[in-house]
Structure 1
Amino acid sequence: MSGSSVSSPETAPQAPVYTYLGPEGTFTEAALLRVPGADTARRLPSSSVNTALERVRSGEAAAAMVPIENSVEGGVTATLDAMAYGPELRIVREVLVPISFVLVARPGLVLEDVEVISTHAVAWAQCRDWIDAHIPHAEHVPSSSTAAAALGLVGGHPEAPASGGYDAAICSHVVAERHGLNVIADGVEDNTGAVTRFVLVSTPGQLPEQTGRDKTTLMIPLPEDRPGALMEILDQFAARGVNLSRIESRPTGEFLGDYFFSIDAEGHARDARMVDALTGLHRISPSIRFLGSYARADGRAPSVPWHHRDAAFQAAGSWVESVLRGQQ
């Protein structure tokens, strides 16, 4: 927002609404709070990734923060699938959040008393070894989020597992501290230093500016199931010197064996090598979906050989033009 004078109540622009995978206290909210201005904006928790993204599509929210990848478990399938279908969305920013968990229980319980634990499926996967080593008899009840599971221990919560009947939950330190929960074990994650990558998603619009340290996310359907079909897609990147930092296959849901590929490529859609790659990919797979170009959260610049840099593409284009004009 800008302006040299104070607007009247009738003309003052409303603060943007951001939604996120809730409830309050999730790692997703922590990621959102790292976005400039989000701390003073209206923040609207959503019960699922689909709900968060639909709020953006409908205009109820300006953007949504959702998890997309974990350093231990890989891609978050709910997000990958939700962005692959429906009206197009754009990733405009990514945020990396270190992940550490605590085990909380109902008042008066200790570790040996725990029989059933609730948490999000991704969190459970990151703590399975610890659980097996300390309370191997404990069962898991899935929850929509780590925070919902924890808050279900204190008088219930609308997003807690409907089945109830659990006596402990795995959640973040923030939730435990904010609500004064009974922490019975700290650092229950299997991999110290685990990180989850979150993305801020908006509707299509002006792309973020190039930084030289960018990432482009794509959804590419396999045009036909035949030998070499995937290699043909990958060659479009390799031939232009575009490195891939993530590639995952996901079923389309239409029939068995029908897949699309979710890909993160190093570079911005305005980079000459990426423009050339995207052009080639569209010829092979016209249903390709562009999900955004945005700055890398880690600030790491790709290593690009000189013959794949913009200047080399420009020089090559000028040379071809001179040949066509008969001026070589």
Structure 2
Amino acid sequence: MPSGTSETRDEHRDAAERGRPRYAYLGPAGTFTEAALRQIASPDGAVFLPQVDVVSAIEAVRTGAADHAVVAIESSVEGSVTAVLDTLATGDPLVLQGEMIVPVSFVLAARPGTGLSAVRRVAAHPHAWAQCRRWLLQNLPDGVHVPATSNTAPAAAMATGERELGFDAALVPPPAVEAYGLVPLADDVADNHHAVTRFVLVGRPGPVPPRTGADKTTLVVHLPSNQAGALLEMLEQFAARGVNLSRIESRPLGDSLGRYSFSIDVEGHVDDERVAEALMGLHRVCPHVRFLGSYPRVDTPHGDVRPGTYDADFLAARAWVQALRDGRAH
């Protein structure tokens, strides 16, 4: 009887989840990633699938275990999340379909009965530790970092009641304190109180979202050669067409030393004439260009469109060349 009851519950759960979009994210519940996910989906209308790391979240989309993934891609303090960049750069193609920004600060939390003076070992995700390094040095100068797989993994571990944890307290997101029955030892822990993390929505390739006028396009590009000037040749494809880059960084290809690909965010949409022309230029001169999507951006573009690079300018120039071919212009 109990077994049958459990099976019936599972069937009801599966039926309730059927047809709802499935989102993989870095768990367990209460992470900043979940906060980003909740900006675009509600647990009432979607299935949230917590994962142990960002690579597992992305791979869940590739295998079909999830329809989408939400992962951190860039911190205003620590820079890009290289595991995400590298996972998106290889393997079956995936695309970015949107982005979210979440303000980041932490609470130093522990089990009830633990005081700040008793804290020697602090569990924290490496990015959390880096964003609180100066605060920890000032307030816990003898504190030892115990790496965690996510910002709420230590909170979940403390909630289990296990006696031996290997740490005394943890840096966790504020909502995790109450959710996991912890006590705050220090609030608003951060070196930079304006820190934010950018998250992206990852999905399988399909129709590109319509341009909004404030868009971003993400690419992975390999240099045309290993000769002097190869990087300039690649960058000229953007500069000549008035395309502004909001982020560019090199990542090792991994097959030998000294070989790199470039992860690039450009301001604009693939439907913008200047961006499309730049992509065609890259396709002509670079051995590998991976399009990771055009999607609405959540912040303000950093650069203005340069005169002569508006859509109308490209269309007028193309019409003039066609007129030359037809003998209608000189």
Q: TM-score, normalised to structure 2's length?
A: 0.91
Residue 14 of structure 1 aligns with an amino acid whose one-letter code is G
Mapping of residues 81-96 of structure 1, within 5 Å: 81-96=86-101
Of 147-156 and 233-242, deviating more is: 147-156
Q: Tell me what 2:150 maps to.
A: 145
Of 147-156 and 134-143, deviating more is: 147-156
Q: Note if 1:55 corresponds to 2:60.
A: yes
Give me the whole-angstrom Cα distance separating, in 1, the residues matched to 2:58 and 2:69.
6
Give me the whole-angstrom Cα distance separating, in 2, the residues matched to 1:249 and 1:79.
14
Residue 145 of structure 2 aligns with an amino acid whose one-letter code is H
Instruction: Specify the SS of the correspondent of 1:123.
Output: helix
> More helix per residue: 1 or 2?
2
| Runs of 4+ deviating beyond 6 Å | none
Residues 268 and 293, structure 1, Cα contact 8 Å, conserved in 2: yes
Q: Deviations over 1:120-158 (max 9, x none)?
A: 11111101111011111111111110100222222269x
Could you tell me which runs of 5 or more consecutive residues in structure 2 were left unpaired when the two chains were aligned.
1-13
Give me the whole-angstrom Cα distance separating, in 2, the residues matched to 1:230 and 1:149.
43
Residue 297 of structure 2 aligns with an amino acid whose one-letter code is R
Q: Tell me what 1:285 maps to.
A: 286
Q: Deviations over 1:209-236 (max 9, x none)?
A: 0000000001112233221111111111
Q: Alpha carbons of 1:182 and 1:165: their partners in 2 closer, same or farther (altered >3 Å)?
A: same
Identity of aligned residues (%): 51
Two-structure CA RMSD over aligned residues (Å) = 1.9
Residues 220 and 291, structure 2, Cα contact 8 Å, conserved in 1: yes
Of 197-206 and 221-230, deviating more is: 221-230
Mapping of residues 94-173 of structure 1, within 5 Å: 94-155=99-160, 164-173=165-174
Q: Tell me what 2:318 maps to.
A: 317
Instruction: Specify the SS of the correspondent of 2:39.
Output: coil
Q: TM-score, normalised to structure 1's length?
A: 0.91
Residues 70 and 196, structure 1, Cα contact 8 Å, conserved in 2: yes
Instruction: Specify the SS of the correspondent of 2:19.
Output: coil
Q: Note if 1:46 corresponds to 2:47.
A: no
Q: Deviations over 1:164-194 (max 9, x none)?
A: 4111110100111212211101111100010
Q: Tell me what 2:297 maps to.
A: 296
Q: Note if 1:20 corresponds to 2:25.
A: yes
Residue 110 of structure 1 aligns with an amino acid whose one-letter code is G
Give me the whole-angstrom Cα distance separating, in 1, the residues matched to 2:160 and 2:66.
30
Residue 134 of structure 1 aligns with an amino acid whose one-letter code is N
Aligned length: 314
Of 299-308 and 254-263, deviating more is: 299-308
Could you tell me which runs of 5 or more consecutive residues in structure 1 were left unpaired when the two chains were aligned.
1-8, 158-162
Q: Note if 1:77 corresponds to 2:90.
A: no
Instruction: Specify the SS of the correspondent of 2:308.
Output: helix
